[in-house]
Structure 1
Amino acid sequence: MQKISSISNELKDWILNTLKSGVNPESIVQGMIKKGFDQAFAYSTIIRILNNQAVNTVDREHATYLYETLEIANKGNIISTSEREIKVLLKIDKPYILYLDNVLSHDECNQLIELSKNRLEPSQIIDTYSGERKLAAGRTSKGAYYKLNENNFISKIENRIAEITNHPIVNGEGLQVLNYELGEEYKAHFDYFPSGQIQLENGGQRIATFLMYLNDVEEGGETIFPKIGLSIVPKKGTALYFHYGNSKGQVDRLSLHSSVPVTKGEKWVSTKWIREGMILQ
């Protein structure tokens, strides 16, 4: 069988992202070889990337991301839910990003933090080749995970997110609460899954992220989108919604983002990842 001797833009971005997260280059090479890449090509590609040299890529069919009109985009600058009005502070079309105010009350932010303090564990990433969760040097926060509708308080937040985004609760993963202490960060990454790790029978690809800020960070802790030069300063009660998957199965590479190190105080956020279909429980 002929060995693979070319990479796509998506794979190149994944390699860059994975290297930044602290994964050993040799592990990436071995993973590529197991996937059918030519050994010499795999080694030379990683070496070129490590040395910031140009790497030729082969775009997949329909590689240019198709931006589609989203339901949330038709709601205007005030998004009304059954219990509150959400104000749009910032909107960007490519990638599609909304920065929203009044998503959570200060009391709700405090309650979610207190509820999570005794559940925090070191944050993990999903390994591209094994599909298993594991620790990574590029993600140094701690996290607490909640089941869908785990209690009345969590259900209230889940329902609010569903009303804002028009994505059913069952299309989203359970809420995750993250705590970043001094110096902690999450290096540049994509939230969507690599093509080899998409489980169609269990919700399929991630297509959007709803990130809620639970406190004001004294210094640092911004959410950065490096490909478009956007920096979001955390503000208690606000949320960031960004959409990166379309009906064609494409993913938006402009959605690359990071959480820069906290340089004073600490940072609390809550994340809801939304998938294209229903997640089996």
Structure 2
Amino acid sequence: MIDSTLITDPYIYLEDNVLSQVRCKEIIDKFENDKHYQGMTGLGVDTDVKNSKDMHVSTAEQDWSEEDKLFAQIITEGHVNYYAHLNNKSNFYFFTNPQLKHKYDPHHDNNLELFDTGYQVQRTKPGKGYVWHTDFLLNSGGMRYLTFILYLNTVEEGWTQFYNGDQISPKAGRLIFFPATWTYIHQGYPPKQTKYIMTGWMHTKNKTDINGKN
């Protein structure tokens, strides 16, 4: 299949071959044999907006602990590589600070500055998708900071498209990061074949959570 990926924005990061096609297929098969639910947004279920079947790894009926650890490892390494990528684009201290790689905490387990809320495996049927939206969210637990997507299979179309014209073709084992802010409007374009991804978000903790006070 033709890879029509186009990236001009340095804050959109792509890394290939983070997971083998065989392992991707195993995850897809396990997803299909587990219970999943209608995908939703922050406003609830609306299939005119987001039409997918989702499953949260941490609340699945089967035991996904092995995959949970695998996803955490992939995201942790990808996060470090993302900042190395930004370091090549910038001389800002924020992107060269060596302590950054120690600040990510999968699943809020420790008192670090970044955490995720777990991993969703999603299935999108041909002709379905997710309309233009942003991933920005701010609540009592913190603010979404980065979005990550791991593509589990290769399909035609089904791009992750950004409003500036950049787009990512779904390819098995491909990982992307981009800021989860209101400036990164994007959509999941309808695929021609059934598309599978793993996705989630890194959050920043509120100062109250880190320091015990505001």
Does structure 1 residue 143 correspond to structure 2 residue 47?
Answer: no
Equivalent in the alignment of 1:265:
193
Give the C-alpha shift of residue 110 in structure 1: 1.2
Counterparts of residues 35-50 of structure 1 (less than 5 Å): none
| C-alpha distance in 2 between matches for 1:184 and 1:162 | 30
SS in 2 for 1:224: strand
Any stretches of 5+ residues in structure 2 without a counterpart?
A: 1-5, 80-100, 109-114, 210-214
Q: Deviations over 1:71-118 (max 9, x none)?
A: xxxxxxxxxxxxxxxxxx96732xx11011111111221122122112
Give 3-state SS (helix, strand or coil) of 1:134's partner.
Answer: coil
Q: Conserved in 2, the CA contact under 8 Å of 1:91 and 1:98?
A: no
Residue number in structure 2 paired with 1:8:
none
Alignment partner, residue 157 of structure 1: 71
What is residue 224 of structure 1 aligned with on the other side?
161
Preserved contact between residue 8 and residue 166 of structure 2 (Cα < 8 Å): no
CA contact 2:151–2:197 (8 Å) conserved in 1: yes
Identity level (%): 27
Are 1:116 and 2:56 an aligned pair? no
Q: Which secondary structure state, in structure 2, belongs to the residue aligned with residue 144 of structure 1?
A: strand
Say if 2:143 is the partner of 1:205. Answer: yes
In the alignment, the residues of structure 2 paired with residue 221 and residue 188 of structure 1 have an alpha-carbon distance, to the nearest angstrom, of 13
CA distance in 1: counterparts of 2:38 and 2:119, whole angstroms: 16
Matched-pair contact (CA < 8 Å) for 1:180–1:268: yes
Report the Cα distance in structure 2 between the residues aligned to 1:159 and 1:187, rounded to whole angstroms. Answer: 30
Instruction: Note if 1:173 corresponds to 2:99.
Output: no
For normalisation by structure 1, the TM-score amounts to 0.55
The structure showing larger relative contact order (alpha-carbon pairs under 8 Å, at least 6 residues apart) is: 2
1:272 CA drift (Å): 1.9
The alpha carbon displacement at 1:120 in A equals: 2.1
| Cα offset, 1:220, TM superposition | 1.8
SS in 2 for 1:147: helix
Shift, 1:252, TM fit: 4.7
Pairwise CA RMSD: 2.3
- Which secondary structure state, in structure 2, belongs to the residue aligned with residue 109 of structure 1? helix
When normalised by structure 2's length, the TM-score is 0.71
The structure with more radius of gyration: 1
Cα deviation, residue 159, structure 1: 2.3
SS at match of 2:22: helix
Q: What is the rounded CA distance, in whole Å, between the counterparts of 1:192 and 1:112 in structure 2?
A: 28
Q: Give per-residue Cα distances to partners, 1:38-65, cap 9 Å, x unaligned.
A: xxxxxxxxxxxxxxxxxxxxxxxxxxxx
TM-aligned CA deviation for residue 134 of structure 1:
3.2
1:72-91 aligned within 5 A: none
Distance 1:277 1:147 in 2: 20
Structure 1 unaligned regions, length at least 5 = 1-88, 128-132, 245-250
Code of the residue aligned with 2:159 in structure 1: it is: E
Number of aligned residue pairs: give it: 168
1:186 to 123, 127, 130: 130
CA–CA distance in 1 between the matches of 2:17 and 2:7? 13
Pair 91,102 (structure 1): closer, same or farther in 2 beyond 3 Å: farther
Which residue identity does 2:190 align to in structure 1?
P
Whether the 8 Å contact between 1:125 and 1:136 is mirrored in structure 2 is: no
Deviation at 1:182, TM superposition (A): 1.4
Q: Secondary structure at the match of 2:58?
A: coil
Alignment of 1:66-77 (within 5 A): none
Deviation beyond 4 Å, 4+ runs, structure 1? none
